[in-house]
Amino acid sequence: MMLRYLGSTKNLAGCVGGLLGVGLYLIGVVGWFWPFVVVALYAAGALLAPGEKVRLVPDASAGLRESLDALEATVSAQASRMPPSSVDTVHRIAEVLRDLLSRPRRLSGDPELQHAVVRLAGTDLPLSLETYLNLPRWFAARRAGAGSELVTQLGLLEAEAHRVAERFYATEVDRQADHTRYLRDRET
């Protein structure tokens, strides 16, 4: 608790106020009562500084990244049971989701986007794979539709992961396009 306060905005603002009090003493504005001025300016800075932001939404990204790693390991271990190219599709989807989850603060700034990523990584992708892998091997091999259903689901999930990434990186894409326009306009 104490270490948390030391790095807080309130403590930093109070320290600036206290240093201002020491500075006033050093240039001769305040005399023998300088310690009281330092304490008063520290208290004023600490009281006037804004409090820390409240974070009620839990950061599920760390747990989801671990789940994605475990999911990829399971899929790789079961590669012989999986339809052709589905293992590669799972790795591509996990790569996109892992990249988005590596920026939890930015992701938490857009609850709708965060929900989409959490749903993809925590529910949709694992459910598709679990449902297929829980079919008996002989049944999945005999029923051609089971594998094609999984391939279709993974294709839809990959498309959705890319749509979510497009929304996530929209600002950077716009900034890049603006810079290209600027450079072209500068050329003429």
Q: Is the pLDDT of residue 55 over 70?
A: no
Residue 1 is given by DSSP the state -
Give percent above pLDDT 90 in the chain: 49
Cα–Cα distance, 32 to 117 (Å, whole number): 61
Residue 29 has pLDDT above 60, yes or no: yes
Query: Is the separation of the CB atoms in 167 and 107 below 8 Å?
Result: no
Phi, psi of 56, deg, nearest 5: -100, -20
For the segment 139-160, the average pLDDT, to the nearest whole number, is 86
Residues contacting 22, CB < 8 A, separation 6+: 34, 38
Angle at 127 between CA 167 and CA 102, to 5 degrees: 40
Does position 150 have pLDDT exceeding 70, yes or no? yes
Tens-place pLDDT, residues 45-54: 999 988 776 6
pLDDT at 99: 93
pLDDT higher than threshold 90 for residue 177: no
**pLDDT for the residue numbered 59:** 60
Interval 26-52 mean pLDDT = 90
Length reported for the chain: 188
Give the tens place of pLDDT for each residue, 90-111: 999 999 999 999 888 888 888 8
Q: What is residue 135's predicted lDDT score, i.e. its pLDDT?
A: 86
pTM exceeding the 0.85 threshold for the entire prediction? no
For the segment 117-131, what is each residue's pLDDT rounded down to a tens digit? 999 999 999 999 999
Q: Which residues of 20-52 are buried (b: 16+ CB within 10 A; e: fewer)?
A: bbeeebeeeebeeeeeebbeebbebbbeebeee
Could you state, in order of their start, the residue ranges of all structural domains in the chain?
2-48, 61-177
What confidence category does residue 1 fall into, taking pLDDT thresholds of 50, 70 and 90?
low
